[in-house]
Structure 1
Amino acid sequence: MTVTTIDAFADRPFSGNPAAVCVLDRPARDGWMQALAAEMNLSETAFVTPGGAGEPFGLRWFTPTVEVDLCGHATLAAAHLLYESGRLGADDEARFDTRSGRLSVRQVRAGRKPPGRKPSGRYAMDFPATPPEAADLPGGFAEAFGVEPVWAGRSRFDWFAVLESEAAVRALDPTAADVEALGLRGVIATARAASDGVDVVSRFFAPNAGVVEDPVTGSAHCAIGPYWADALGTDALACYQASARGGAVDVRVRGDRVELEGGAVTVYRAELAPSAHPAP
């Protein structure tokens, strides 16, 4: 049994957001999956189980501390592994049944091939939109982040704060305890980009899910996309999550769904010792 670490929303190793992916022969116990996710100590570990003939795969996501309802980068990583390993053909659609319903991923084109390396994959994911609704942020937000947003709300999972500039987003330096006290899964901070070729920048802080700051967050863009599509009058956005690792997400808003596009690169595989396998 192997666990594969894949950098998602990346076109080269050691960038984007790493996720661990474990493909199982059959469903495993929740406690074992949570323990392996804690051992991997990445923002997400994805567990894939096969469906019946022609049926979707099962997919679940765990942070080091909790199971989550939706994760974009680990879905991207799971699909990448299924294509790379030959479990899916290049023209097949990866379909997953999850706690957020049916999700699908398709391979859109091969990434560039660096000399001596395999090309990265590039994929488009069909996800539910989670547009933010206007709402007052909880007391303590200004103290935690040191800024006042120009617009505030909440999405299905998170607080949502629009800041006045890309520089303000990049300068944020909250403490995990202060963000945790705000509740919900976390805080999305976003602004219109000042960089060429990018429409929107963001950062995402989720200590309540065991992730102080996530490098690149697909599920956050299910809220970022609808907000900025309305604000900028376009359904296609070039987004950049300005974490230390950083990563690009192309977003297309299609009614109550969003399409998230990005690359993925396999970094390493680890073999689990027999003693670490799930109990039958």
Structure 2
Amino acid sequence: MKIKMYQADAFTDRLFRGNPAAVCMLPEWLPETAMQAIAAENNLAETAFIVTTDVGYEIRWFTPTVEVDLCGHATLAAAHIIFQHYNATASELAFHSHRSGTLRVTRENDLLTLDFPVDTYEKVATPAALVEGLGIEPMETFKGKTDYMAVLPSEQDVIRLRPDLAALATLDARGIIVTAAGTDVDFVSRFFGPRSGINEDPVTGSAHTTLTPYWSAELGRDKLSAIQLSERKGYLWCKMQGERVAISGNAVTFLQGEIEFS
């Protein structure tokens, strides 16, 4: 059995920037163990698996170690691959996730926009392991459906972080979002997910379902610009839309090939 696989860099308009994701186009669903093995073999932050249906595309996302509820950059990468390599002529694609519902991606010129549900989060006491792991006391700490979010005093504090990943891995969360107001953009962030097999994710679209409502309320604006300050960096434009958030960015294809699978 041969499986078409692509790799694209998401939230960037240049290769070797943004966040790389693999996209596997399947004729039908593989066993979960097989998809997890492929994701582990790819050793990327996320591998998206796509099955075409009569009403759009079904999608699932796997890190090298676990299946996750939602992944922004791999969904953006999947939409880019379908638009660029499968002759999609519509301006909108619908992805259906059994964990996160229907997710739409629209295209305007080279810009792709994710339509994702807003995260629900609440302010919490800062866990000792979070302070130990970050090496700095956050100004505020929040807990969303899957992640902690730590708000730091400045962009430089976010840049300077050298986290203790072992300490962060003890937290009961998919990952830890660290954020601050930006110098050249509205806000900046980084994302650490050692418990999910990702020490630092280069660009995390799903984290912006938490970041966008927080910074929209803080800054009093619905439209926001953002940079994720990983080594590769990613650039995002976010907009609050009621209970949804629009997250826009570019993507470029890195490779295409086939998996020999039996």
Aligned partner letter, 2:235: A
Aligned partner letter, 2:39: A
Instruction: State the match for 1:43 in structure 2.
Output: 45
Aligned partner letter, 1:137: T
Secondary structure at 1:216 match in 2: coil
Q: Tell me whether 1:218 sits opposite 2:205 in the alignment.
A: yes
Query: Per-residue deviation at 1:109?
Result: 1.4
**How is 1:58-97 mapped onto 2 (pairs within 5 angstroms)?**
58-89=58-89, 91-97=90-96
Instruction: State the match for 2:165 in structure 1.
Output: 176
Query: Per-residue deviation at 1:137?
Result: 2.2
Instruction: State the match for 2:13 in structure 1.
Output: 11
Q: Which moved more, 1:230-239 or 1:133-142?
A: 133-142
Aligned partner letter, 1:138: P
CA distance in 1, matches of 2:72, 2:125: 27
Secondary structure at 1:94 match in 2: strand
Q: Which moved more, 1:21-30 or 1:132-141?
A: 132-141
CA distance in 1, matches of 2:241, 2:194: 30
Q: How big is each residue's C-alpha offset from its partner over 1:143-162, in whole Å with a ceiling of 9 and x where there is no partner?
A: 21111111111111111110
Query: Per-residue deviation at 1:28?
Result: 1.1
CA distance in 2, matches of 1:102, 1:66: 21
Report if aligned partners of 2:152, 2:178 keep a CA contact under 8 Å in 1: yes
Name the % identity: 45
CA distance in 2, matches of 1:21, 1:215: 17
Report if aligned partners of 1:137, 1:159 keep a CA contact under 8 Å in 2: no
CA distance in 1, matches of 2:247, 2:56: 20
CA distance in 2, matches of 1:45, 1:212: 16
Instruction: State the match for 1:119 in structure 2.
Output: none
Q: Which of 130, 134, 144 lines up with 2:133 in the alignment?
A: 144
Q: What is the aligned length?
A: 259
Secondary structure at 1:272 match in 2: strand
Query: Per-residue deviation at 1:87?
Result: 4.2
Secondary structure at 1:182 match in 2: coil
Q: Tell me whether 1:231 sits opposite 2:218 in the alignment.
A: yes
CA distance in 2, matches of 1:86, 1:61: 20
Q: How big is each residue's C-alpha offset from its partner over 1:191-235, in whole Å with a ceiling of 9 and x where there is no partner?
A: 0012x2x11000000111110100000000000000000000001
CA distance in 1, matches of 2:10, 2:115: 16
Secondary structure at 2:128 match in 1: coil
Instruction: State the match for 1:32 in structure 2.
Output: 34
Structure 1: where are the runs of 5+ without partners? 111-121
CA distance in 2, matches of 1:20, 1:185: 20
Which structure 1 residue ranges, 4+ long, deviate > 3 Å from structure 2? none
Report if aligned partners of 2:202, 2:231 keep a CA contact under 8 Å in 1: yes
Query: Per-residue deviation at 1:249?
Result: 0.9
Secondary structure at 1:181 match in 2: coil
Report the CA distance shift for 1:51/1:87 in structure 2 as closer, same or farther (over 3 A): farther
Secondary structure at 2:17 match in 1: coil
- TM-score normalised according to structure 2 size: 0.96
Q: Which of 92, 110, 114 lines up with 1:125 in the alignment?
A: 114
Q: How big is each residue's C-alpha offset from its partner over 1:29-74, in whole Å with a ceiling of 9 and x where there is no partner?
A: 111100000000000000000112xx02100000000000000000
Secondary structure at 1:50 match in 2: strand
**How is 1:265-276 mapped onto 2 (pairs within 5 angstroms)?**
265-273=252-260, 276=261
- TM-score normalised according to structure 1 size: 0.90
Aligned partner letter, 2:86: G
Report if aligned partners of 2:12, 2:235 keep a CA contact under 8 Å in 1: yes
Aligned partner letter, 2:108: V
CA distance in 1, matches of 2:164, 2:44: 19
Query: More strand per residue: 1 or 2?
Result: 2
Query: Per-residue deviation at 1:131?
Result: 4.2
Aligned partner letter, 2:81: L
Report if aligned partners of 1:132, 1:160 keep a CA contact under 8 Å in 2: no
Report if aligned partners of 2:4, 2:26 keep a CA contact under 8 Å in 1: no
